[in-house]
Amino acid sequence: MPKSRPGKEAVLAGGQPVLVTGATGYVGGRLVPRLLDAGYRVRALARSPLKLQGRPWAGHPLIELAAGDVLDYDSLLRAARGCRAAYYLVHSMGAAGDFSEKDRIAAANMAQAAAAAGLERLIYLGGLGSAADSHLSEHLRSRHEVARILQSGEVPATFLRAAMILGSGSASFEIMRYLVDRLPVMITPRWVNNPVQPIAIRNVLNYLVGCLEHPGVKGETLDIGGPEVVTYRQLFDIYAAEAHLPPRLIIPVPVLTPRLSAYWIHLVTPVPAALAQPLAEGLSNPVVCQDNRIRDLIPQELLDCRQTIRLALARVRQQSVDTCWRDAGPLIPPEWTHCGDAAFAGGAILSCGYRLRLQARPEEVWKLITRIGGETGWYYANWLWAIRGWLDRVLGGAGLSRGRLHPTDLKAGDALDFWRVLAVEPPTRLLLLAEMKMPGEALMEWRLTPLAEGRTEVQLLSRFLPRGLGGILYWYGLFPFHQWVYRGLLKAMAAAAGKPVIFGPTRFTPALPRKRG
């Protein structure tokens, strides 16, 4: 692993922090603890600092958590001031709208803010591929354009060009894992025979940390890749062998367009079509390193594909995946959830809430609540949850395929099937935001209230802000199912706890909407 030049004691004595943009993302979330372990002060930037507060390193004495958005120049400048360098690890791929235009604006903001804040250097992780290739995918073309914008600024910007990043939780690894695990026969596009030079996430992190101090990489464009060039077909074969699966029958056909490939990936894997399509388009481009200078500048042991896949699978089996592609994105509660459902939100909140009382302490019930979803399921009517998840996938939503990162631990920002964790307050409150396709916005909230004699009241409340007439019809069409499922869910959870029910479940919300404002 590369060593940082200044001693750890010197950095601890008051060195300027290093800014890490995209700190909630897959790479950024792993880079921050690596920098902290090396003794650097780190300022982690995120649109939703609440997501950072749940990370194991959030309380480290060298960390600063900063709120900001690369699309908001003023917030980016505030975050960059006082820093000595910055990592640019953000992209808009998978976001709504024109991701290339958003990336263009964000890169210009970063270059300008870096100059105004007096940074020494920028370090950007982008993609391989030839910028002169007329067939280069929009995703890779955008990555190259971001590099050009950053390197045209006053602050020297190092551009690391990577191909496929392999590691537990990466989008590329998850796509491969689900396709090979689930499909003994794969009908694939012709790109399955394209050459690619994957690199392990730990090697990427070593290069990123090494670039912070090495003078030879400042302002340079450098290719980073693993020690071998393979085809995607060979990668699938290696994965099947390491996962102890029979060899997969792979049949390339010329009719699968990137759009069709993206929809197929969306249905078979947890990766949504919005993210799968630009990735699938990029697979049609050969991505092989043309420049290996960085191997001499920042030497390290490069893991081959088999070693990398073996390590990634071990992390998955041990349920110790540090970060995941699902971590990225803002954590923005709907406005109507604040201040007791603020009147300015307009409309009417529709709700369905049930409660029961158990002969159990809150801590005992909390353990069951934090295990909900994923492999545990929803305690009651799992077949109905499965149907709702399947319909959501067909409509382009997350469905149940995302599961959860850890079987028992939850933190703000985690994906939980087709929900997103908004707040975790053990052992009294869990708040989930629905990310399924529906005509409105929905929340599910669990509240535990301790009572006398070691008892607990458990409340399960669902709230829905409909969007137009369709939203109202959607809610009332499902209302009988909500009542049935919520009653059954509470009773099944009590049974799973092995604790007697003292009272309930009974509904504590009105059947008619509550008017506001």
Question: For the chain, what is the mean pLDDT?
Answer: 83
Of residues 10 and 19, which shows the higher confidence score? 19
Q: Which of 162, 239, 229 is nearest to 193 (CA)?
A: 229
Query: Which domains does the chain carry?
Result: 8-326 (3.40.50.720), 348-515 (3.30.530.20)
List the one residue out of 474, 464, 460, 481 whose CA is nearest residue 384.
Answer: 481
Q: Collect all residues with Cβ–Cβ distance below 8 Å to 317 and sequence separation of at least 6.
A: none
Residue type, 327: D
Backbone angles phi, psi at 384, to 5 degrees: -70, -40
DSSP 397-462: S-TTTT-BSSSS---TT-EETTEEEEEEETTTEEEEEE-S--SEEEEEEEEEEEEGGGEEEEEEEE
For residue 81, the model assigns a pLDDT of 95
pLDDT value at residue 93: 54
Are 504 and 357 in contact, with CB atoms under 8 Å apart? yes
State the average pLDDT over residues 293-302: 94
Give CA–CA dist 438/434, Å, rounded.
Answer: 9
Residue 396, pLDDT score: 77
* pLDDT, average across residues 372-398: 87
Reported confidence tier of residue 13, pLDDT bands at 50, 70, 90: very low
Q: Which residue has the tokens 């960059």?
A: 80
Q: Which of 3-12, 90-99, 104-113, 224-233 has the lowest mean pLDDT?
A: 3-12
Task: Identify the DSSP state of 133.
Answer: -
pLDDT of residue 251: 86
Q: What is the pLDDT of residue 501?
A: 92
Q: Please report, to the nearest 10 degrees, the dihedral formed by the alpha carbons of residues 151, 152, 153, 155 taken in order.
A: 40
Q: Which residue has the tokens 């909630």?
A: 24
Alpha-carbon distance of 441 to 453, in angstroms, equals 38
Q: Give the confidence band of 327 by pLDDT, cuts at 50, 70, 90.
A: low
Q: If you average pLDDT over residues 465-482, what whole number do you get?
A: 88
Check residues 236 and 513 and name the one with the higher pLDDT. 236
> Torsion-angle region of residue 447: left (phi > 0), alpha (psi -120 to 50) or beta?
beta
Question: Does an H or E element contain 353, and which?
Answer: strand 348-358
3-state secondary structure 215-237: HHHCCCEEEECCCCCEEHHHHHH
Q: Give residue 274's pLDDT.
A: 67
pLDDT in tens, 144-154: 899 999 999 99
At 179 the pLDDT is 83
ω into 299 cis (within 30 of 0):
no
pTM value? 0.73
Q: Which pLDDT value is given to residue 338?
A: 47
Q: Are 151 and 114 in contact (CB under 8 A)?
A: no
CA distance 405 to 410: 8
pLDDT tens for each residue of 35-68: 999 999 999 998 877 778 778 888 899 999 998 9
Which is nearest to 258 in space by CA: 271, 270, 273, 237? 273
pLDDT in tens, 114-138: 999 999 999 999 888 766 665 667 7
- Relative orientation angle of helices 28-37 and 201-211, to the nearest 10 degrees: 60
Residue scoring higher pLDDT (64 or 318): 64
d(CA 88, CA 516): 43
What pLDDT, on a 0 to 100 scale, did the predictor assign at position 420? 87
Q: What is the pLDDT of residue 486?
A: 93
| 3-state SS assignment for residue 288 | coil
Instruction: Read off the pLDDT of residues 168-214 as tens digits, 9 standing for 90 and up.
Output: 878 788 888 888 888 888 888 777 888 899 999 999 999 999 999 89
Q: What is the DSSP letter of 65?
A: E
